[in-house]
Amino acid sequence: MVGVPDDDLGQRVRAVIIASSNMKHRALKKALKTGLAARLATYEMPREYVFVSELPRNAAGKVLLGPLSGPSNQIPNLQSDSKKAKE
């Protein structure tokens, strides 16, 4: 989960999911939404779900959050179904 700038709210939640290429993104998104809804308040729920093959990392192996919180079309290793996974 990363925060993404939003004009109306200031910031919104984006879920970044590492998924293998043979996983069905729609089914996974539905399962995640159901599981998260049981644990999170409505305002804490992700408004966007993007699927990547791997997370961007720096030389020390730490996850780079900057690229993940930018525009969806600029996320490294974005899988093709991710554009359809937005709400």
Residue-range definition of the domain harbouring residue 55 = 2-85
Helix (H, G, I), strand (E, B) or coil at 33: helix
Return d(Cα 38, Cα 59) in angstroms, integer.
37
Is 25 in contact with 84 (CB distance < 8 Å)?
yes
Task: Report the CATH number at residue 43.
Answer: 3.30.300.30
DSSP-derived letter for residue 54 is S
Whether the predicted model's global pTM rises above the 0.85 cut: no
Q: Is pLDDT above 60 for 1?
A: yes
Number of domains composing the chain: 1
pLDDT tens-digit readout, 6-50: 888 888 999 999 987 767 888 889 999 999 999 999 989 999 999
Average pLDDT of 80-87?
A: 51
pLDDT score of 80: 62
37's CB contacts (< 8 A; 6+ apart) are: 45
